[in-house]
Homo-oligomer: A and B are copies of this chain.
Amino acid sequence: MVWDVLNVIGTIAFAMSGAVVALEVKYDIMGAYVLGLITAFGGGAIRNLLTGIPIIELWQQTTLFIVALITISIVILLPSSAVQLLTKWSIFDSIGLSAFAVQGAMYAQSIDLPLFAVMFSAAITGAGGGMIRDVLAQRKPIVLRDEVYLLWAIFAGFILGLDWLSKSYHFYILFTV
């Protein structure tokens, strides 16, 4: 349940951020869809590949795909003044990263990966999508410029890797925001 909520929050936030970046660098409608989807699902895809989780699970997230497509469509339909406002507002990145980092850590934790891999899984699930997005939009990856983001993600992985009380992430997400 918590898992699903995190997934939906992260997907919406990253799909939005990908679409906004695409419009910002003058990619067109198709580019917004591609970048939105890549941002939303790229981190999880790399995580699955590098931790040996069957990649097929990526394709069973039909609901999330539809959520992402709707989110991107809304961004595209927004007036350009609203989009400009959104570009100044990097909160989607923070929300998406927090949600996905916790989700990535929980995932790795649930299949009994070692602490190291749990921390990595949190970092890559949270930051991977945004890194691919920035590379494709020819920007310096925000995660590498603004390290606070990634520290949070790894910290989340650390906490969950040690299997401390998992109720604390609600607080965690609020805090980052």
Q: Which of A22, A30, A45, A113 has the most CB of B within 10 A?
A: A30
The A27-77 residues at the B interface (CB cut-off 8 A) are 27-31, 34-35, 45, 49-52, 54-56, 58-59, 62, 65
Whether B28 pairs with A145 at a CB distance below 8 angstroms is yes
The digit string for A133-148, where 1 denotes a CB below 8 A from any CB of B, is 0011111110111010
> Does A151 have its Cβ within 8 Å of any Cβ on chain B?
yes
Whether A144 pairs with B35 at a CB distance below 8 angstroms is yes
Q: How far is the CB of A44 from chain B (nearest CB, A)?
A: 11
Residue numbers in B under 8 Å from A30 (CB-CB): 144, 147, 150-151
Whether A144 pairs with B34 at a CB distance below 8 angstroms is yes
How many copies of the chain does the oligomer comprise?
3
Number of interface residues of A (CB under 8 A): 39
Whether A52 pairs with B62 at a CB distance below 8 angstroms is no
Q: How far is the CB of A69 from chain B (nearest CB, A)?
A: 10
A49–B55 CA distance with the chains assembled, in angstroms: 8
A59–B65 CA distance with the chains assembled, in angstroms: 30
A55–B113 CA distance with the chains assembled, in angstroms: 13
Whether A147 pairs with B28 at a CB distance below 8 angstroms is yes
> Does A117 have its Cβ within 8 Å of any Cβ on chain B?
yes
Whether A62 pairs with B138 at a CB distance below 8 angstroms is no
A144–B34 CA distance with the chains assembled, in angstroms: 8
* A51 partner, pick from B55, B136, B139, beta carbons under 8 A: B55
Whether A55 pairs with B50 at a CB distance below 8 angstroms is yes
Residue numbers in B under 8 Å from A147 (CB-CB): 28-31
Residue numbers in B under 8 Å from A50 (CB-CB): 45, 49, 55, 58
Whether A49 pairs with B49 at a CB distance below 8 angstroms is yes
